[in-house]
Amino acid sequence: MNYFENRQIVTPGELLAEGDYIAGNNTYRIGNKIYASRLGLVEYQGKTVQVIALNSVYIPSPGDQVIGRIEDVNVNGWVVDINSPYKALLRVVDAINKPFKQQKDDLTSFLDVGDLILAKVIAFDRTMDPLLTIREPGLGKITQGQIVKVSPAKIPRIIGRRASMINLLKRETECKITVGQNGIILVSGPTPEHEKLAILAIEKIAQEAHTSGLTDRIAEMIRREKG
Partner 1 sequence: MSGKVKLINENGLRIDGRRPNELRPIKIEVGVLSNADGSAYIEQGKSKTLAAVYGPRELHPRHLALSDRAILRCRYHMATFSVEERKPPAPTRREIELSKVIREALEPAVFLEKFPRTSIDIFIEVLQADGGTRCIGTTAAALALADAGIPMRDLVAACAVGKVDGVLVLDLNDIEDKEGEADMPVAYMPSLGQISLLQMNGTLTYEEFNQALNLALEGCKQIYKLQKEALKAKYVAIKEEVETCLQS
Residues that bind partner 1 (CB under 8 A): 9, 11-15, 26, 28, 30, 35, 37-39, 53-57, 59, 85-87, 126-127, 151, 153, 207-208, 210-211, 213, 217
- Kindly report the three-state secondary structure assignment for every residue of the chain: CECCCCCCEECCCCEEEECCCEECCCEEEECCEEEECCCEEEEEECCEEEEEECCCCCCCCCCCEEEEEEEEECCCEEEEECCCCCCEEEEHHHCCCCCCCCCCCCHHHCCCCCCEEEEEEEEEECCEEEEEECCCCCCEECCCCEEEECCHHHHHHHHCHHHHHHHHHHHHHCCEEEECCCCEEEEECCCHHHHHHHHHHHHHHHHCCCCCCHHHHHHHHHHHHHC
- Beta carbon nearer to partner 1, 81 or 112: 81
- Beta carbon nearer to partner 1, 9 or 96: 9
In whole angstroms, the minimum distance from the beta carbon of 221 to partner 1 comes to 11
- Beta carbon nearer to partner 1, 59 or 142: 59
In whole angstroms, the minimum distance from the beta carbon of 57 to partner 1 comes to 6
- Beta carbon nearer to partner 1, 72 or 136: 72
- Beta carbon nearer to partner 1, 49 or 175: 49
In whole angstroms, the minimum distance from the beta carbon of 14 to partner 1 comes to 7
In whole angstroms, the minimum distance from the beta carbon of 11 to partner 1 comes to 5
In whole angstroms, the minimum distance from the beta carbon of 87 to partner 1 comes to 6
